[in-house]
Amino acid sequence: MSKFKFLLSVVGLFSVMMATGQATTAVTVKGTPYLHEAYQDGVVYYGDKSLTVPVRYNAFQDLIEYQQNGKALVLDPKLTIKKVQLGSTVFVPQAFDKKLGYFMLLDSGKMSLYVKKKITLLPGRKGGALDGSDQAPEYKPSPDEFFVKIGEGQLQEVGTIKSFVSGLPDKQEEIAAFAKKEKISPKKEKEMLQLVQYYNSLQ
């Protein structure tokens, strides 16, 4: 493929704009909007093609940022993107609550497990610090939210173990017994991963 045609295909796929990441203000903001501040070698898979570029995930704006030709650009979540791989971490665009977003894939099989990473911006407060000085705005991670998807079905948020079990198409008794025995929490990644892997192991 010629360089010109390659650039056209990339521009046609990506929503390209300058990536800001930080709030455009003179006020000092604590923390970071990124899951990891530094860019990592990553691969964007789209259609039957792939693009290897430095990438990072902006968890505040729910965007993948990447560098190309010396420019910082952003990649909006689109269903034409199969996945974005950052080392061992994989982000997949998924639709939930009528909105597309990036979800981190934790396990795949008959049931796939995803986690949503979010960072919120807490507003600053005048005189809000312990010493009476102004408290600066701060980027702060939100609690992880877990989601499951069976086959090509819809993404479902895991609220409670009871609602998770009742929403299963099969193996409800086995999963309920396993969750009770292992004291599975729907808010802990390691335990949810254990539960989904157990479900996928059942015949």
pLDDT of residue 132: 62
Higher pLDDT, 11 or 176: 176
- Confidence bin at 98 (pLDDT 50/70/90): confident
Mean pLDDT for the chain overall: 86
pLDDT of residue 128: 56
- Confidence bin at 28 (pLDDT 50/70/90): confident
Higher pLDDT, 32 or 3: 32
DSSP code per residue over the chain = --HHHHHHHHHHHS---B---S-SSSS--BS-SBSSSS-EEEEEEETTEEEEEEEEEETTTTEEEEEETTEEEEE---TTEEEEEETTEEEEEEEETTEEEEEEEEE-SSEEEEEE--EEEEPPBTT-STTSSPBPPEEEEPPPEEEEEETTS--EE---HHHHHHT-SS-HHHHHHHHHHHT--TT-HHHHHHHHHHHHH--
Percent of the chain with pLDDT over 90: 72
Query: Which pLDDT tens digit goes with each residue over 109-167?
Result: 999 999 999 999 999 877 656 666 778 899 999 999 999 999 989 999 999 999 999 99
pLDDT of residue 126: 76
